[in-house]
A and B are shown apart, each in its own frame.
Chain A
Amino acid sequence: MMTKNIMIVGVGGQGTLLTSRILGGIMVESGYQVKLSEVHGMAQRGGSVVTFVRYGEEVAEPIVEEGQADILIAFERLEALRYAHFLKKDGVIVANDQRIDPMPVVTGAAEYPENILEKLSEEYKIYQVDAREKALELGNSRVFNIIVLGLAAKHMDFTKKQWLDVIAKTVPPKTTEINQKAFLIGYEG
C-alpha cells in the first residue's frame, strides 16, 4: 500500500499527543511500519501545534510535508485553515467546530477569520463535530479530542474492536471507559 499521511493540529494543551499515540498504536498493532513526529517544549504553551503520523509498508521521513496529507484532524477551526494546504488534492478534513482566539486576536492586532469551515468545504471534503459540547454532555470536557478521533476513524480501515482495544492500552486505566464512550460518539454518531 501507499504510505498514508495523517496530521493532527490544534492548540497546545488540547491533547494532540495522546491522539497521535492512539493512532500510532493501532497502526503498529495492525502490522504497519509507523513513524510519528511530535512537538514538545515552548511551542506547547498555548501555541499552534502539529503532530504527524505516517504508516505503510516502508516509511522514511517522520513528517508530513505540504501537499502530502491524506487526513487533517483539526481540534480548532483556525488551525484547520492554517494547515489545510498540507492536504493532497483529495485529502479530507475532520474538524472540531471550536474557536480559540490566538493572542494577536485577543489584543486586537488581528481578526479571527469568519466562516472558516464553510469556506474550507468549498475546496475540501470536510467532516465536523462540536466535540466540546458533546464531551460536556458526557461529563468530561477533556475527552473532546477522542470524539474527534472517533469521527476521523470512520475514514480509516480499522475495526471498532481494534480502536477500543488500542484506547484501553494507551490511556490511563481510570479513564478507559470514558475515552471509549467518547470515541463511540464520534465513530457512531
Chain B
Amino acid sequence: MSEVKIMLGNEAIARGAYEAGVKVSAAYPGTPSTEISENMVQYKEDIYAEWSPNEKVAAEVAIGASISGVRAMCSMKHVGVNVASDPLYTASYTGVNGGLVLVAADDPGLYSSQNEQDTRCVARAAQVPVLEPSDSQEAKDFVKFAYALSEKYDTPVIIRTTTRLSHSQGPVTLEERVEPADKPYEKNPAKYVMMPANAIRRHVYVEDRMNRLAGDGCEMEINRAEYRDASVGFVASGIAYQYVREACPEASVLKLGMVHPLPRKLIEEFASKVERLIIFEELEPVFEEQIRSWGISCEGKELFTRQGEYSANLLREVILRQKPEIREAAKVPARPPILCPGCPHRSTFWILNKLKLHAAGDIGCYTLGAVPPLNVIETTICMGASISALHGMEKAKGKDYIKNWVAVIGDSTFMHTGVNSLMNMVYNQGTGTVLILDNSTTGMTGHQDHAATGKTLQGDVVPAISIYHLCKSMGIEHVTEVNAFDVDTLEKTVKEEVARDAVSVIIVTAPCALLKGQVFPNKCAAIPEKCKKCGACLRPGCPALTKKEDGTVEIDAAMCNGCGLCAQLCKFGAIEVREAKKA
C-alpha cells in the first residue's frame, strides 16, 4: 500500500500512532493538539482513545497502559504538559514496558494560548528525549521512530510540534499497521515503585540513558547534515528548518530531528565545516546555550527574537540583507475574536457588566468576556484558576471585599481542575460566588465531550456526571441552575448569591450555539418604526446586530441564532423573536 494522502500534522500523528500499533490513547483537548485525538477515533477498532478530564490523568492512563505492556500515547498542548509534568518527571525514571509517547503541541505566536513556553525546556528538566518533525510526513514517521526509541532506551519520548506544524497539511504516504505482540507485565518494584531507595538507582539509569542517546543521536538518520555552501551553516529543527530551506536554499543545514538530547559530535563536526554557524530556533535558545557551553561560537538570539513565529522573510532580512518588496500594510480596524451570535455566555457577561461585578476568569471561549464591549473578566491564568484565585482574594481581603467579585468557569474547565479549587473553597471555609457556564461541551477547542456531557470520544453514550450533584455532594448549600437566556432570573440569582456569606454556585446552562445537532427555531427581527435608537440591544456586542446610518438597528438573519437576548433588552418592543422560516 503506498497511498498518498494530504494530512494535517495532527492527523499524521494519529496515523503514526495507528501504524506503530498503539493500543491506548488519552488526552485533554487543547489547541493546537486537539485533532490528534479526534483523528484517533477513525482507528477505534484498533486503538482505545479517550478524553480524560485533564492532562495529568491522560498521562497516567498512558503510563499505566505502557507498564501493562502495550504501546500508548497521550497528547496535549504545551501548557497541558505543566499539568502532566508530575507523572512525566517520574515516568522518566520508571521508563516503559510498551512504548510510551507524549505529544506536546507548542504555540509560538500565541494563536490560542496564555503563554509561549517551550516544551524543550521541560524535557531537559525531566530528562526525556524529544523528537521534532518538520512536516506531516515526518510527523507520522517520527511517531513510529519514537516508539522504537522508547522501547530501546526504556524511556518516555516526547514528540514536540508547534501550531504551524499541527495545523498545516501536507502529503503523507500511508503504510500498514504493525501489530507488536503485547509484552508480558512482570512485577518489578525496583523499576515501577519510585520510593526513594529505588528512585536513587533509577536516576543513575536515567543519566546513563541520556548520555547514550546523545551519543547514538550522531548516527540517527533523523539528525542530518546537509552540506551545500559552506559560508553559512544553520542548525534548525521543525518548521524553522522549512523557513531556512525557503529563504536560503544554498546554505548548509544541520537538521535536527531529535532536539533533546543534542548529538554533540555531529554538531561539532558541522560547526567545523562551516564558516558562520547560525542557530535558528523559535522560542527559547535551547540549542544555542548548549552549543555555546561546548565552546563553539555561533549566532542566535542576538539576531532573532525569542517571541512569536519565525518566517522566511525574517531570514531574508537578517541574513541575506534583502528587503523583500512589500507594499505597506493598510491601517484597518482590528477584528478580534468575539462570542458567537446566540452564545449563551453573552447574557451572563452582560449581567455582570450591568451589576458592575468583577470576574476572576478561566480558560475557554468565555475569556472573550474580557474584551469590549463586555469587559468583565479581569484575570485569566490557567485551567481552574478562577475559583482558587477568588478564594485567595477572599482570604487576603475578607468576605466583604469579595461581594462584588465572582469566579467564572466553563463546564469542561470545571471538570478539568476547577473541581479541586471548589473543594478547597468549601474545606477552607471560603465565601464567594462561582458561576459555572455549562454549555455542554468543550467549546473553544471545537466541541469535545467530557465527563459531564454523557458521551465519550469514541461516541459511546454514558451517564453524565451531574455538575449540580457534584457541587451538592461537597456540602455546598446554595447551588442554583439557571437558563442562560432567562435574563431576569439570572440577574436576580446573581444579586442574591453575591450577597451571601457562603460558597454559592450558579450553574448557567444552555448549549453552545455551535454545538452540532442544535436546532434554532427562532430568529430575531428588528421593527424599525418602533426603534428609539437607544442602542441598548447593541451593548452586549452580538455580531448579528448592526446600527444603520439612521441609527436604527438591523439584524442579519443569516447570522442570528434567535437567542432573544437583544429582544429582552429592548424596552420598546422593537425586536421580535419570530419563528424562523425555512429556507
Contacts and interface: CB of A to CB of B under 8 A. Distances in A.
Contact of B333 (A62, A63, A89, A104): A104
A18 interface: no
B327 A123 contact: yes
Contact of B168 (A37, A46, A47, A123): A37
Interface stretch (A107-115, A146-154, A156-164, A180-188): A107-115
B453 to A, nearest CB: 20
A139 B581 CA distance: 13
A11 B327 contact: no
Interface in B127-175: 135, 164, 167-171
Which of B32, B35, B246 has its CB near the most chain A CB atoms (within 10 A)?
Answer: B246
Given A66-B313, A67-B325, A60 B245 contact: yes
Interface residues of B, number: 57
Interface string B397-412: 0000000000000000
A153 to B, nearest CB: 19
The DSSP consensus for interface residues of chain B is loop
A38 B335 contact: no
A33 B171 CA distance: 7
A34 interface: yes
A38 B168 CA distance: 6
Interface stretch (B256-264, B364-372, B496-504, B518-526): B364-372
A63 B311 contact: yes
A71 B266 CA distance: 42
A15 to B, nearest CB: 13
B6 A40 contact: no
B242 A60 contact: yes
A36 B136 CA distance: 11
Which of B245, B330, B445 has its CB near the most chain A CB atoms (within 10 A)?
Answer: B330
Which of A12, A40, A44, A110 has its CB near the most chain B CB atoms (within 10 A)?
Answer: A40
Given A45-B365, A66-B313, A106-B546, A36 B169 contact: yes
Given A28-B6, A45-B365, A79 B326 contact: no
B325 A89 contact: yes
Given A85-B329, A103-B373, A140-B583, A34 B169 contact: yes
Contact of B112 (A40, A46, A139): A40
A142 to B, nearest CB: 8
A131 B515 CA distance: 26
B330 A103 contact: no
B332 A37 contact: no
Contact of B332 (A35, A81, A89): A81
A82 B332 contact: yes
Contact of A41 (B31, B371, B373, B543): B31
Interface residues of A, number: 57
A67 B543 contact: no
Given A46-B338, A66-B324, A39 B167 contact: yes
Given A45-B368, A107-B373, A85 B31 contact: no
Contacts of A106: 373, 538, 541, 543, 545-547
A95 B167 CA distance: 25
Contacts of A25: 6
A65 interface: yes
A101 interface: yes
Contacts of B31: 40-42
Interface in B524-574: 538, 541, 543, 545-547, 558
B334 interface: yes
A63 B164 contact: yes
A85 B326 contact: yes
B169 A66 contact: no
23 contacts: A34-B171, A35-B169, A42-B337, A42-B367, A42-B444, A43-B111, A43-B337, A45-B338, A45-B339, A60-B242, A61-B311, A65-B312, A67-B326, A82-B329, A82-B332, A87-B327, A103-B338, A103-B371, A103-B372, A104-B334, A109-B333, A113-B333, A132-B558
Interface of A: 11-13, 24-25, 28, 33-48, 59-63, 65-68, 78-79, 81-82, 84-85, 87, 89, 100-107, 109-113, 123, 132, 139-141
Given A42-B31, A43-B337, 11 more contacts: A38-B8, A38-B167, A38-B169, A40-B167, A41-B112, A42-B111, A43-B111, A61-B242, A61-B243, A66-B326, A106-B546
